[in-house]
Amino acid sequence: MRTALSFAPLSGISTELLAVLAADTQTTKNRDAKPQPTLLTSDTQVEAAAAQMLATGEFKAAANETVLLHAPAGLAAKRLLIVGLGKQAKATVHTVRDAAGTAVRFAKPRGIREIVITLPQNYSKSLLHAVAMVEGAVIGDFDPDTYRSERNDQSMQTLTIAAPADADRAAAEAALAEGVILGESQNFARSLINEPGNKLTPTILGQRAALMAQEVGLGWEVHSTEMLDQLKMGAFRSVAQGSAEPPALIVLRYEPEGISEGPILGLVGKGITFDTGGISIKPADNMDKMKYDMAGGAAMIAAMRAIALLKLRVRVIAIVCAAENMPSGTAQKPGDVQTAMPFAPDKPGKTIEIVNTDAEGRLVLADGITYARQLGVTHLIDAATLTAAISVALGKITAGVFSNDDTTYARFEAGLAVTGEKFWRLPLGEEYADIIKSDIADIKNTGGRFGGAITAAEFLHTFVEDTPWIHLDIAGVAWVEDARPFIAKGPSGVAVRSIVEWVRSF
C-alpha cells in the first residue's frame, strides 16, 4: 500500500473516497437527549455537504458507525464517508486508530482502492493521533484469505492522510513513517500466525525470521537440534521430540551503532507452530486454531522488525523457541522428568515433572529465558499464548500481564496509553509457587485448574529468578473470533506495539 500526506483543502482533494471523522458532542447527562454528531473538520464545504444528512438524526456518530454519501456537493471526492468516534469527551488516540481501520475496511469490499482519511480537527498537532491513524488504516487492510484459490485481492492501493495546511510537516511525515512501520510490523506478525502448520514449520519460521532480519539489518542465528543438545535445553528439546519436524532456536540481535553500555533487553517468544497437546491430546474441536500457538514468537519477531526500522537506541536480543507439539512413539509422556538448561556450567539445570504434555509452552520458554539471561540481558519480556486459564479470568477482551518488578512493569503500563492494547496485571506469590512443587523433581509443569495462568507465570518465574521481567499471556486475544469494523477475523498481532513501546521506554 502506497502512503502519502496531503495538506490541501479537503474540498479540493480528488479521490475515490474521502473519510472524515465525527464525534457526538452532546454533553448533557439526560439519557433522553439526542446525539449531536459533529464533523471534526473546519472545512466549510465538507460540513455543507454533510449537513442535510446529519440533520436527519439517522447518523449518531457512535464508535465506528459509518454513513456514505455519493457525489457530495461541492467536493472533488467521488464519495464522502463519515466515521463515528463516539462521545467526544471519551474519544482517544485509540478510537482514532479504530476509526481509520473502519474506514479502510468499509472501502475494501466495495472495490475502492484509494482512500483519503482526514486527521480530525484539534488532533492535528498530536503526533500520537497521526501515528495511530496510519496504524489503524494499515492494520485494517489485512485479510486472512491467503490460500483461497479464487482470491479477489482487495488490498488498498493508496492511503493518504489529510492534515491541515498549518500542520508541522516534518512531524506529520515522521508520524506517517512510524505508523507504517508499526502497522506493517503488526501485520507481519499476523501473516506468520495465519500460516497453517504445514506451511509454517519451525524450520520455515526460522527462515522467515532470517529473511526479515536481513532486510532490516538485524543480526540473526537459527539453530536446531544439535544446538539444543549442546546447550542442554532439555525442556525445549522434550517438546520437539515427538515431531518429525526439527525444532528451531531463533536468535535476533539489534545492536545500534554507538551503544555499548546500558541495558540489554531480552524478548522471548513461544513459537509452537502447531500444538496437538502431545500425548495429553486436545479435543478435536478448534484444534485447527492451534496454528496460532506461535503468536508470542511472531510478536517478538515482528517487534524486532519495528525496533530496527525505528532505530531505537537500546540493545535488544530476541529469542524464539519454535517446535511442534505432537503425539508419537517418541513423544514425552505424562510422568516423565526433564532437565532444563542450566544457567551456568557449574550449576545443574532444574528438573521438571511433566504432569501434562499440553503445558508445553512454559517448557520452551524456560530454556529460552535461561538462554537470554546467559547472553547477558538485563531485563526480560516474554509473550505466549500460554494458558486457557487467562481467558477464563479475563475473557477474550484483555490479555494478562505479570511482573516481578514494579519499575519494569510501570514502563510497560505507561506504553499502553499509547498502544491502546488491553492488559491487566495479575499477582505472583509464594503461595502460587508452592502449587507447582513436585514430589519427584524440582517443579511440575502445571499446578492444575485453579489459578492456572498464575501458576504458569510462577513456573517461568523460577527460571527468571531476580532478572526484572514481564510475562504476557496473550492466549485469549491473539485470535479475533469475529470480524470487527476495524479488524478482520483471524490473527490480531496483539502485543507487537506494546512490546515496541516498552523497548522505546529504555
Residues in a beta bridge with 352: 338, 443
The candidate with the shortest Cα–Cα distance to 306, out of 202, 462, 181, 139, is 181
Give the CA distances from residue 208 to residues 200, 212, 490, 505, in Å, rounded to whole numbers and listed in that order. 9, 6, 20, 28
Residues in a beta bridge with 265: 316, 379
Phi/psi at 86 (5° precision): 85, -160
Q: One of 362, 373, 411, 444 is an active-site residue; which one?
A: 362
Q: Grid coordinates 500460554 are at which residue?
A: 386
3-state secondary structure of 113: coil
Quote the CA–CA distance of 437 and 455 in Å, as a whole number.
Answer: 10
Quote the CA–CA distance of 223 and 213 in Å, as a whole number.
Answer: 15
Quote the CA–CA distance of 419 and 430 in Å, as a whole number.
Answer: 32
The three cell numbers of residue 123 are: 488532533
3-state secondary structure of 144: coil
* Identity at 128, one-letter amino acid code: L
Known catalytic residue: 199? no
Known catalytic residue: 78? no
Q: One of 60, 113, 125, 282 is an active-site residue; which one?
A: 282
Quote the CA–CA distance of 504 and 506 in Å, as a whole number.
Answer: 5
Helix axis angle for 169-194 and 202-216, nearest 10°, is 160
Contact yes or no for 420/490 (Cβ under 8 A): no
Quote the CA–CA distance of 167 and 428 in Å, as a whole number.
Answer: 47
Quote the CA–CA distance of 453 and 443 in Å, as a whole number.
Answer: 16
DSSP 370-431: HHHHHTT-SEEEEEE---THHHHHHTTT-EEEEES-HHHHHHHHHHHHHH---EEE----HH
Hey, which residues are catalytic here?
A: 282, 362
